[in-house]
Amino acid sequence: MTLNTQIASRSFKSCLMNAAGVHCQTSDELDDILNSQAATFVTKTATSHARNGNPEPRYVGHLHGSINSMGLPNLGIDYYLEYLKEIDRSDVFLSVTGLSKEEIYQVLHKVQESSFDGLIELNLSCPNVVGKPQTAYDFDLMDEILAEVFNFVDKPLGVKLPPYFDLVHFDQVAGILNQFPLSFVNSVNSIGNGLWINDQSVAIKPKQGFGGIGGAAIKATALANVHAFYQRLNDSIAIIGTGGVATGRDAFEHILCGASMVQVGTALMTEGPQIFERLDQELSEIMTSYGYHNLKDFRGQLRYIEE
């Protein structure tokens, strides 16, 4: 029995990894992920220059989920490219974005011209930068950006998407994405602009308390997005499932809905990198109980209730 998986001709010993934004900002944190049972890592989402992000408190989490308004804190694209050059691996993910389409192009030109030989995750879905809408909710802009990006990027590249809530939007987004040679789609980022209240006050400081909701609270939405895109995207585009993964059963359900890999965010923040050993074990036990030998045995095999 194996948890091995593959994306863009890269092979991974497991299907479980961190989500961008959690335990992945510094080289030490990335080393922690590499030294854990995780399949690989994705870096903090990098911009053209280092960012401090939003003022604190900007994250609150517990068993039922999390709210954050981090604001893309990161050490800048040059920092991550230098670290990735040192470790020299082709099975890691570099997350990038920009606060404008011009910055996205600038960052990706730098990645394209570098020695980086891994996978690029283009984040089009950060909900927590003040005054900046989520690119992937503007379908014309997303189409424009991807058309330009694939004019000069020939390294494996995928996109991280926000959650969608309308079946027509799944059709429209898939129609855009299927035009391009994407290696993967990561679904979903946090649900933007939720509000948590502690006593009579908002839980976080930025944006008067509005922030991205993650963890257990978004699993149903994440599973729906994973399966909707599994039904609609070209077979050549793998899906990474993200949202609400705290147990092996959660990971199993993401794969059942069509995910080839699964990212862990809120639960990783709570439990630390040792979580991957537990998740691997729990997922393996579930697969054994169903008689599955590998992920292909059940990936995308979600059953429907017939009339």
Q: pLDDT tens-digit profile of 154-187?
A: 999 999 999 999 999 999 999 999 999 999 999 9
User: What is the Cα–Cα distance from 130 to 194, expressed in whole angstroms?
Assistant: 14
Residue 64 lies in a domain: no
pLDDT classification of 63: cutoffs 50, 70, 90: low
> Total structural domains in the chain?
1
Which class for 266: exposed (0-12), middle (13-18), buried (19 or more C-beta within 10 A)? Answer: buried
Residue 167 lies in a domain: yes
**Mean pLDDT of all residues in 42-71:** 93
Residue 203 lies in a domain: no
**Mean pLDDT of all residues in 74-98:** 98
Phi, psi angles (nearest 5°) of residue 79? -60, -50
User: What is the Cα–Cα distance from 227 to 223, expressed in whole angstroms?
Assistant: 6
pLDDT classification of 129: cutoffs 50, 70, 90: confident
Write the CATH number for 113. Answer: 3.20.20.70
Residue 210 lies in a domain: no
Residue 61 lies in a domain: no
Residue ranges in 215-260 assigned as alpha helix (H) = 219-232, 248-256
Residue 291 lies in a domain: yes
Instruction: Give the domain range for residue 119.
Output: 5-54+72-192+216-297
Residue 263 has pLDDT above 80, yes or no: yes
CA quadruple 76, 81, 82, 84: dihedral sign? positive
Q: pLDDT tens-digit profile of 272-300?
A: 999 999 999 999 999 999 999 999 999 99
Residue 273 lies in a domain: yes
Residue 307 has pLDDT above 90, yes or no: no
Pair 29, 267: CB distance under 8 Å: no
User: What is the Cα–Cα distance from 25 to 4, expressed in whole angstroms?
Assistant: 26
Specify whether 126 is catalytic. Answer: yes
Distance of CA 164 to the CA centre of its chain: 15
Residue 200 lies in a domain: no
**Mean pLDDT of all residues in 145-158:** 99
What pLDDT score was predicted for residue 226? 99
pLDDT classification of 20: cutoffs 50, 70, 90: very high
DSSP 8-class letter at 137: G
Cβ neighbours around 15 below 10 Å, total: 27
Mean pLDDT for the chain overall: 97
What pLDDT score was predicted for residue 157? 99
DSSP 8-class letter at 55: P
Identified catalytic residue from 15, 24, 126, 257: 126
Q: How would you classify the pairing of strands 261-264 and 238-242? A: parallel
What pLDDT score was predicted for residue 132? 76
pLDDT higher for 132 or 60?
60
pTM (2 decimals)? Answer: 0.97
